[in-house]
Each structure stands twice: as C-alpha cells, then as structure tokens.
Amino acid sequence: GEQKTHCFKEKTRNLLREWYLRDPYPNPGKKRELANATGLTPTQVGNWFKNRRQRDRAAA
C-alpha cells in the first residue's frame, strides 16, 4: 500500500534530511541513489523532497 512519510524509519528520515540540507533539488540520478540507500522508490524520494520544500516555504 501507500507509505506515508511518518512511516519512514528514523534512519531514512535522517538520511533524507542530510541530503536535503546539501541539495534540496536532487537530479534523477541522485534520487535513484537515495532510493537505493533508503529502500524507497525514486518516486517516494521525489515526493519527500517536494513535500519538504513546501513545508520549508510555508515555515519561511
């Protein structure tokens, strides 16, 4: 089924956060790399970044 962000493991979230701070706009290759590292799909990784950018904009 559909995995919501809050279901991601702590390690996964930390990894995504670290990457996000370095590069909020990962290219498709980076997304694949992150997907492999986290066990997510590149689509899930892309969505996480998109949501994260929206949250950051909303907080700004």
pLDDT per residue as tens digits for the range 1-46: 555 555 678 999 999 999 999 999 999 999 999 999 999 999 999 9
The pLDDT, as a whole number, for residue 2 is 57
- pLDDT given for residue 31 in this prediction: 97
d(CA 53, CA 20): 9
> What's the pLDDT at 47?
97
Going by the DSSP 8-state scheme, the letter that residue 39 receives in this structure is T
How far is the C-alpha of 26 from the C-alpha of 34, rounded, in Å? Answer: 9
Q: What is the pLDDT of residue 8?
A: 78
Cβ-proximal residues to 42 (8 Å cutoff; 6+ apart), any chain: 28, 31, 32, 34, 35
pLDDT of residue 4: 56
Architecture of domain 8-59 in this structure: Orthogonal Bundle (1.10)
Q: What is the Cα–Cα distance from 53 to 19, expressed in whole angstroms?
A: 12
